[in-house]
């Protein structure tokens, strides 16, 4: 699978990455060759094979729906880039009416 520069732009957008034109020139052949390398997987027949998500075939452990964590909001907010009145601040996302 060879990617075009436009494909790479689209992937970068999905991954929320900004790439310069220079970056795209570098990444396009690199990502294409990685995908080409991955395509070796096509050489094996996996028709009746179940996918393996967990190496020990275990499923997710569940716990009771009890409150077990302490409130650490203040501590967590101390390392945040921008907070106010206990809230994390981001650029405005809702337009004024």
Partner 1 sequence: MHHKNIAELSAELAAKKISSVELTQHFIDRIHQHDEQLNSFITVTEEYALQTAKEADDLRAKGNAAPLTGIPIAQKDIFCTDGIKTSCGSKMLDNFIAPYDATLVKKLKAAGTIMLGKTNMDEFAMGSSNETSYYGTVKNPWNLEYVAGGSSGGSAAAVAARLAPAATGTDTGGSIRQPAALCGLSGLKPTYGRVSRYGMIAFASSLDQGGPIAKTVEDCALLLNAMAGFDEHDSTSVNKAVPDYTALLNQSIKGMRIGLPKEYFSEGLSKEVETVIQSAIKEYEKLGAIIEEISLPHTALSVPAYYVIAPAECSSNLARYDGVRYGYRCKDPVDLQDLYKRSRSEGFGSEVKRRIMIGTYVLSAGYYDAYYLKAQKTRRLIRDDFTEAFKKVDVILSPTTPTPAFKIGEKTSDPISMYLSDIYTIAVNLAGLPGMSIPAGFVNKLPIGMQLIGNLFGEEKLLNIAHQFQIVTDWHKQIPEGF
Which of residues 50 and 96 has its CB atom nearest to partner 1 in the complex? 50
Among 22, 54, 71, 85, which residue interacts with partner 1 (rule: CB under 8 A)? 54
Q: Is residue 1 within 8 Å of residue 8, measured between CB atoms?
A: no
- The rounded distance, in Å, linking the Cα atoms of 83 and 85 is 7
Check binding of 67 to partner 1 (CB under 8 A). no
CA dist 89 → 16, 46, 86 (Å): 19, 48, 9
The verdict on 34 binding partner 1 (CB under 8 A) reads: yes
Binding stretches for partner 1 (CB under 8 A): 8, 11-12, 14-19, 26-27, 30-31, 33-35, 37-44, 46, 49-56, 58, 60-61, 63, 72, 75-76, 78-82, 88, 90-93
């Amino acid at each position: 699978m060879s990617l075009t520069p436009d494909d790479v732009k689209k992937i970068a957008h999905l991954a929320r990455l900004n790439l310069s034109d220079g970056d795209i020139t570098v990444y396009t052949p690199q990502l294409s060759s990685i995908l080409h390398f991955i395509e070796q997987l096509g050489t094996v027949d996996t028709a009746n094979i179940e996918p393996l998500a967990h190496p020990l075939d275990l499923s997710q452990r569940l716990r009771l729906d009890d409150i077990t964590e302490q409130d650490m909001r203040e501590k967590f907010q101390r390392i945040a880039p921008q907070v106010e009145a206990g809230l994390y601040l981001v650029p405005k996302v809702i337009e004024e009416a």
